[in-house]
């Protein structure tokens, strides 16, 4: 059942399409970010192995795809989501807590036993990183 004269799809189809378009746009934004910013990190790096002309060509295609997403949203009556930055950061903090908590020596016993002093030091290092990340507060 259509919910308005401008809506070609019923609500269930619109929700499904909205989710699909959000995932596709997120991936496009990530590709665009890779092509524009050669981000370096402490734990990984991106090898810039794409020709500048190919980068420009692909950036143009990414913009075309994002424009197409906008047209589909308008055509099918899909509204933009608004997300709380605080909530997004909180979700990432929970994920950090989960990953670090699962990295303590008692969770890694399947990889072998550490001697007691190394185990204590290892867990203290993980706890210190966890304590630092827990201080990230957005209010």
* Geometric angle at alpha carbon 105, from 100 and 110, rounded to 5°: 110
Three-state DSSP string of 39-105: CECCCCECCCCCCHHHHHHHHHHHHHHHHHHHHHHHHCCCCCCCCCHHHHHHHHHHHHHHHHHCCCH
Q: CA-to-CA distance for 106 and 103, rounded, in angstroms?
A: 8
Q: CA-to-CA distance for 28 and 38, rounded, in angstroms?
A: 16
Reference 28, options 75, 54, 67, 79; nearest CA is 67
Domain residue spans of the chain: 11-75, 85-134
**Regarding predicted confidence, which is higher, 1 or 15?**
15
Residue 1, pLDDT above cutoff 50: no
DSSP per residue over 42-55, as a string?
SS-B----S-HHHH
Residue 2, pLDDT above cutoff 50: no
Range in 3-7, 75-79, 83-87 with the lowest mean pLDDT = 3-7
- Residue-wise pLDDT for 103-131, tens only, equals 999 888 888 888 999 999 999 999 999 99
- Residue-wise pLDDT for 10-46, tens only, equals 999 999 999 999 999 999 999 999 999 977 889 998 9
Model's pTM, two decimal places? 0.78
Q: Round the average pLDDT of the chain to a whole number and report it.
A: 91
């Amino acid at each position: 059942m259509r919910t308005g004269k401008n809506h070609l799809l019923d609500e269930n189809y619109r929700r499904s399409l909205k989710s699909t378009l959000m995932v596709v746009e997120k991936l496009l934004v990530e590709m665009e970010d890779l092509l524009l910013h050669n981000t370096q990190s402490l734990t990984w790096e991106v090898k810039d192995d794409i020709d500048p002309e190919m980068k420009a060509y692909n950036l143009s295609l990414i913009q075309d795809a994002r424009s197409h997403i906008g047209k589909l949203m308008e055509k099918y009556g899909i509204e933009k989501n608004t997300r709380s930055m605080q909530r997004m950061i909180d979700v990432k903090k929970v994920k950090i807590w989960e990953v670090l908590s699962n990295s303590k020596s008692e969770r890694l016993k399947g990889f072998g036993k550490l001697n007691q002093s190394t185990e204590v030091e290892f867990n203290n290092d993980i706890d210190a990183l966890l304590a630092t990340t827990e201080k990230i507060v957005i209010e």
